[in-house]
Structure 1
Amino acid sequence: MLNILRKRAQSPLIQGLVLVIAVVFIFWGFGGNQGNNRTAVATVNQVDIAYQDYVRAYKQATDNFRQQFGGQIPPALMEQMGIKQQVLGQLIQSELLRQGGEEIGIRVSDLMVQEKIKEMEVFQEEGHFSQQRYEDLLARNRMTPTVFENDLKSDLRTERVTTDIADFALVTDHEIDRWLAYSEEEIQLHYVQLNAADFEDKVVIEEEELATWFAAKKENYRSEPKIRLKYLVFNLDDSMEQAQPDEEEIRALYESRKESYQQPEQRHARHILLKTNEGDTEAVRAEKKKKAEEVLALARKEESDFSTLAQEYSEGPTKDKGGDLGFFSKGQMVPPAFNQAVFSLQPGEISEVVETQFGYHIIKLEEIRPASVRTFEQVKDNLAVTLKKQNAKDLAFKNVTKAYEGIMRSGSLEKYSQEGETEILTSDYFARSDVPEEIINDPKFLNVAFSLKKGELSSIVETSEGYAILFVDDIQKPELPELATVREQVAADYTKDKAEELAGTAAEELLAASNEQGSLQQAVNELENKPEVTTTDFLQRNAPGGKDLPPKQLIQEGFKMPWKQKTAQTPVQIGASYYLFEVAERRIGDAKADEAKRNEAKEKLLASARKELVGSWVAGLQARSTIATNDSLLK
């Protein structure tokens, strides 16, 4: 949790730049196992990265991934995601940035770290830093102040170095002109779509040709393996009647979770936002602030309605709701200044103009909902359901364990079945893609079932419904069928395949006619069955495609066309359809766009230039550094 809080202190720009650095390391890699220190996971220019630092960083990374994925992550997936290598790369990156920052005179003092901690709302009480809260939160997260402050210092150093390097990036007016001319370019298309499905009635099935086609595609029709199971099922529902918890159990669970039922104080507020952008000039910002002060004066008049004013003047997303932000607790609002203003007001009060990165806010506090703790009676029923399910699961596990031990003592499932203590179920043969209704259609159950060999008994399998024990009684191996047994499906597939070929041929012929006639429309007019020629509106490169528009791929192909070329050289196949198109007209982008659009373009280009500059700088650091890793410690 605290690791996430540290990251929130960084701006989106810095997070984007750090991502670029990570990509650099992914593609550049590191040196081999050349370090002399066996207790270090890596050495960067003779500076060791300690194993314990790697272990702590790895734990933080895996905890974060588990939170994102809502629980456990299989070890195989963790390995596939390369988390160990990612963590090592980040540690090496941090050390390189520290060394590179020192070379150019960038350092982070302990005082800067302390000031940053004091600004973090999570460590504040009533708007002021609390040493006791700071220590308690760190202890709750099994972290010492020294470790936390070192981590934060590393984050701040990364932020300062990347910011200082990125600040050297420049974007010229000529680059903005070129970008606007490119991004604002528009084309109008004439296009025809030939669907394979429209040619299916033209396909004639000849038995000899169908047999030849089937022989080439025969592997596509190989049957799936089928298994026949004997199995025992222990469903949670069967244990529910015996699983009802008593009052004492429910109360004990409530006491163990009592802290989670604490509701912090919440406040209901409305706001009016006069938006600003990062590239706005001082004059623009001053005008916005002046307007906000005028609106504030209107809001403070006795007869004024704040909700109506918000609908009229606010430029934020809650405008249509009268600026209503609903209830929220302290720290939920991202801008600290906004959060601090709300929690300093009393119901009915209106704030001064509050400036944040989003613009100028006028805030009205509507209501305060005091901190509270949900009582036992309020959560009793939900806790009872939770306990009942857990008790049922425990009982089911107890029963399946007893059965499994019985099978082991008996020596086989067959001998155990003769004792008659538990019903043994038997399935018919079934394939993975065609599971009978009576079989548990659960991935865990099926994964185990189809991984066992004939005559093999599974271990205890946990499913979404309870537990099971499986025994594969028999396996039918996959078979290549004869044409006669699958002819209906083969004929349907053959028809679709040949219809697609016919559509492709028709597209090629129409394209040749179009080039000869000089236009797509004239070529279509010569056909007996005329496909529709669709004319689009003017489209830009970022047009989404789809509904009421040609496919996005077709739009992109249009923009790839040379300016002097009108008709595409080849049909464009998208799925089972072929498209022919011609660029009817082009309009170059307006390089002399209004100031707002030019500023937006400048910010995009500047962000790209910053990333490229930081990435190049880090790549340069790595290229002239000696980096050795001790991969044996990553296991």
Structure 2
Amino acid sequence: MLDFLRKQAQSTLIQTVVLIIAVVFIFWGVGTNLSGSRNSVATVNGTEISPVEYNRAYSQTVDGLQQQFGGKMPPGFAEQLGIREQVLYRLIQAELLRQGGEEAGIRISELPVQQRIAAMQVFQENGNFNLQRYKTVLEQNRMTPSSFEKGLKSDLSTERVQELAGSFAVIPDNAAARWQAWSNEQLKLAYVKLEPAAFEAKVAADDKALAAWFEKNKEKYRSEPKVRLKYLLFNQSDDEKEVKIADEELKAKYEQDKESYRQPEQRHARHILFKIEKNAPENLRAEKKKQAEEVLAQAKAKGGDFAALAKQHSDDASNKDMGGDLGFFAAGRMVPAFDAAVFAMQPGEISGPIETEFGYHLIKLEEVKPETVRSFEQVKDSIAVGLKRQQAKALSFKRAAAAYEAVMKAGSLDKYSQQEAGKVQVLEPFSRSERPQGLPADPKFVETAFSLKKGELSSIIELREGYAVLFADDVKEPEQPKLEAVKDKVLAAWKKEKAAELAAKAAADLLASSREKKALQSPEGGTVIVTGLLKRATPGGENAPPDEVQSEAFKLAWKEKLPAAPVQAGEAWFVYEVRERLAGEAKTDEATRQRLTTSAQRDLLTAWLASLQSKAKIQISLRNRDDEAPQ
């Protein structure tokens, strides 16, 4: 659904809980689709989430990320973030919220839906709702009035749920002042850092203890399996040299795929955003609109510099420094009200204020790229490359199949190699972690090599760049070495472990001595470091220890100067003393109060969502296939 099309349908609070991936905020999001489908990606208590809804959500999320990366994401970035799973999780949470609202007795009539639609500027002409414009805008976004209204009704229900949950979040009057006092508290520390490396010289070699330690940890030193490999490789690149593609074939392929070379009209625009929070009072909204109108007048005045005004006034941090530049984008990529305005403008025109979910926008259309279809000459070379690779791969398979048949007829790979000298390649024994030069880089090759038993011939395996046939000439199973064979490694690891134990003991002894004398003592050969004043809210500072140490120090009761136990940070141990402590200034701050209120509301909603999820019957049928989600 077009969440951002539905005015005020998603609150900041719900977006915080439900949204996992942050997308550029002027793109539309996805709401709840209640239409049933036999082919679903998930069901929540019997209600299906359709592939259409999932694919739309996935596409829009990826589009948003691409926009953040200037139109092109780093290869594999979407997979690393797990966007497929996170989009599905977001949709499931949205459905849980909707169902939770129904269980709580929240019912939304048709009247609020109609009122919300009538108030949307994108559906208005001359300030009044226009039915034909309503249908046209929805059609442009591939939606029907019934599906849009059903989704909007669901969102209004969710909005009401959020409001009710928020009403239970009570923040005491002095909460902001207490939080400020806590956050601004300062202290000065003295501390000693004890590192294992400083104790390694004190670790004496003990053959008996070393042997016992090795016996306990010997699995760490077990060798990896190794394989001696003979193989046939059929590189696709070798066959590409033999492939010739006629112009007639290229033209036929071009006509077949011509639609894929169509590039829709794109528009290059800038904007200035005057951001408004969802629950902002009317006087603030009016003030923001007035501010937008004043800046609009400056932009339209002779000599007005829209980019400079965007840098000065825009609340869109993502492109403010670029003068509000949004780059080129096609129709349907932006919030509908924003989108409708841009695609009704002429180059050089400045429009606004345009109201969207995020506030008021001033828009300047810089340039228009008309729809084009790339010509045959423009794509001829890329078509040739694709066809050549396709036909070369077929030739490579043909060679691999012929060779495999010949191996079968010869009776073994060795006999085949006598008939076809120089074709069989050999790799001396290697492990997964120590691979020889010349080993094909394709993971499928290594996978197959280590799946074979000694004397076993693989079938024809497909690689990224061709085909191969593998033969495990010898397989060396993992071995448990004797201590003498790995003594140097074992001794180094043993010393490191013993040094860490000595450092921990030294820290405990130092703390015990310090607590007895009620002040931090200087260790033998060590140094006491004294910090400047450290602030709880901003870790770091003069001579500051690691964050873990500061965090523990701030947890100490005011009367305590020394901790109950040393603190480990990384491999080192720390013993500290609080030398000075200053109470933070307790002041009432409206921004802090609002932040605490939002946090309390979020915690309540998160807990409620967790409760709903624990009771829900959720079935996920999304499969990890390339055709499940658009790439």
- Secondary structure (helix, strand or coil) at the match of 2:205 reads coil
- Secondary structure (helix, strand or coil) at the match of 1:229 reads strand
1:231-310 to structure 2, matched below 5 A, reads 231-278=231-278, 280-310=280-310
1:385-396 to structure 2, matched below 5 A, reads 385-396=385-396
Q: Does 1:399 align with 2:402?
A: no
Q: Is the 8 A contact 1:165 1:613 kept in 2?
A: no
Q: Does 1:500 align with 2:500?
A: yes
Aligned counterpart, 2:570: 575
Q: Does 1:539 align with 2:535?
A: yes
The CA deviation at 1:174 is: 0.4
The structure-2 alpha-carbon separation of the partners of 1:217 and 1:529, relative to structure 1 and needing over 3 Å to count, comes to same
The structure-2 alpha-carbon separation of the partners of 1:93 and 1:326, relative to structure 1 and needing over 3 Å to count, comes to closer
1:23-102 to structure 2, matched below 5 A, reads 49=46, 57=50, 100=103
The CA deviation at 1:285 is: 3.4
Which ranges of structure 1 fall in alignment gaps of 5 or more residues? 21-38, 139-144
- Secondary structure (helix, strand or coil) at the match of 2:497 reads helix
- What TM-score, normalized to structure 2? 0.75
Separation in 1, partners of 2:114, 2:247: 53
The structure-2 alpha-carbon separation of the partners of 1:610 and 1:305, relative to structure 1 and needing over 3 Å to count, comes to same
- Secondary structure (helix, strand or coil) at the match of 1:174 reads coil
1:359-374 to structure 2, matched below 5 A, reads 359-374=359-374
Aligned counterpart, 2:464: 464
Question: Comparing both structures, which one devotes a greater share of its residues to helix?
Answer: 1
Query: Aligned residue pairs: how many?
Result: 571
Q: Give the letter aligned to residue 566 of structure 1.
A: K
Separation in 2, partners of 1:131, 1:283: 30
- Secondary structure (helix, strand or coil) at the match of 1:428 reads strand
Q: Give the letter aligned to residue 596 of structure 2.
A: A
Q: Does 1:326 align with 2:338?
A: no
Separation in 1, partners of 2:472, 2:541: 49
Q: Is the 8 A contact 1:226 1:476 kept in 2?
A: yes
Q: Is the 8 A contact 2:236 2:393 kept in 1?
A: yes
The CA deviation at 1:241 is: 0.5
Q: Give the letter aligned to residue 325 of structure 2.
A: D
Q: Does 1:159 align with 2:155?
A: yes
Separation in 2, partners of 1:267, 1:40: 37
The CA deviation at 1:132 is: 11
The CA deviation at 1:404 is: 2.8
Give the one of 561, 565, 588 matched to 1:566. Answer: 561
Q: Give the letter aligned to residue 179 of structure 2.
A: L
The structure-2 alpha-carbon separation of the partners of 1:611 and 1:107, relative to structure 1 and needing over 3 Å to count, comes to farther
- Secondary structure (helix, strand or coil) at the match of 1:224 reads coil
Aligned counterpart, 1:596: 591
The structure-2 alpha-carbon separation of the partners of 1:531 and 1:94, relative to structure 1 and needing over 3 Å to count, comes to closer
Separation in 2, partners of 1:332, 1:180: 42
1:208-223 to structure 2, matched below 5 A, reads 208-223=208-223
Q: Does 1:174 align with 2:172?
A: yes
Aligned counterpart, 2:29: none
Aligned counterpart, 1:345: 345
Separation in 2, partners of 1:455, 1:372: 59
The structure-2 alpha-carbon separation of the partners of 1:128 and 1:404, relative to structure 1 and needing over 3 Å to count, comes to farther
- Secondary structure (helix, strand or coil) at the match of 1:353 reads strand
Q: Is the 8 A contact 1:97 1:158 kept in 2?
A: no
The structure-2 alpha-carbon separation of the partners of 1:315 and 1:133, relative to structure 1 and needing over 3 Å to count, comes to closer
Q: Is the 8 A contact 2:532 2:542 kept in 1?
A: no
Single out whichever of 366-375 and 511-520 deviates more from structure 2. 511-520
What's the RMSD between the two structures over aligned residues? 4.7
Q: Is the 8 A contact 1:397 1:467 kept in 2?
A: yes
Separation in 1, partners of 2:605, 2:153: 17
The CA deviation at 1:436 is: 0.9
Q: Is the 8 A contact 2:397 2:467 kept in 1?
A: yes
The CA deviation at 1:233 is: 1.1
Q: Give the letter aligned to residue 333 of structure 1.
A: M
Q: Give the letter aligned to residue 535 of structure 2.
A: L
- What TM-score, normalized to structure 1? 0.75
Aligned counterpart, 2:27: none
Q: What do the CA deviations read for 1:355-401 (whole angstroms, capped 9, x no partner)?
A: 33333332222222222222222222233333333333222222223
Separation in 2, partners of 1:611, 1:488: 53
The CA deviation at 1:229 is: 1.5
Q: Is the 8 A contact 1:279 1:603 kept in 2?
A: no
Q: What do the CA deviations read for 1:576-611 (whole angstroms, capped 9, x no partner)?
A: 222223445556666644323322332232233334
Q: Is the 8 A contact 2:39 2:50 kept in 1?
A: no
Single out whichever of 481-490 and 420-429 deviates more from structure 2. 420-429
Give the one of 526, 530, 546 matched to 1:530. Answer: 526
Separation in 2, partners of 1:413, 1:8: 66
Separation in 2, partners of 1:292, 1:233: 67
Separation in 1, partners of 2:346, 2:590: 41
Separation in 1, partners of 2:206, 2:113: 86
Aligned counterpart, 1:36: none
Q: Percent identity?
A: 40
Q: Give the letter aligned to residue 172 of structure 1.
A: V
Separation in 1, partners of 2:301, 2:460: 72
The structure-2 alpha-carbon separation of the partners of 1:188 and 1:397, relative to structure 1 and needing over 3 Å to count, comes to farther
Q: Is the 8 A contact 1:566 1:584 kept in 2?
A: yes
- Secondary structure (helix, strand or coil) at the match of 2:351 reads coil
- Secondary structure (helix, strand or coil) at the match of 1:581 reads strand
The CA deviation at 1:500 is: 1.4
Separation in 1, partners of 2:393, 2:406: 20
The structure-2 alpha-carbon separation of the partners of 1:209 and 1:614, relative to structure 1 and needing over 3 Å to count, comes to closer
